[in-house]
Amino acid sequence: MKNKTDLSVYTTGNFEVGAGILKRLLWYFINILFFMNPLNLISSLKVLLLKIFGAKIGKGVNIKPAVNIKYPWKLTIGDYSWIGEKAWIDNLSDVKIGSNCCISQGAMLLSGNHNFTKTSFDLMVKEIILEDGAWIGAHSIVCPGVICRSHSVLTVNSVATKNMDEYSIYQGNPAKKVKDREIL
22-71 tens-digit pLDDT: 999 999 999 999 999 999 889 999 999 999 999 999 999 999 999 999 99
Rounded to an integer, the average pLDDT of 4-21 is 60
Question: Lowest mean pLDDT: which of 103-112, 118-127, 146-155, 156-165?
Answer: 118-127
Q: Are the C-beta atoms of residues 90 and 109 closer than 8 Å to each other? A: yes
* Statement: residue 3 has pLDDT above 50: no
Question: Lowest mean pLDDT: which of 27-36, 37-46, 129-138, 172-181?
Answer: 37-46
Quick one: DSSP state of residue 52? H
**Average pLDDT of the chain, as a whole number:** 92
Which domains are delineated in the chain? 18-177 (2.160.10.10)
- Residue 14, pLDDT score: 64
87-124 tens-digit pLDDT: 999 999 999 999 999 999 999 999 999 988 888 888 89
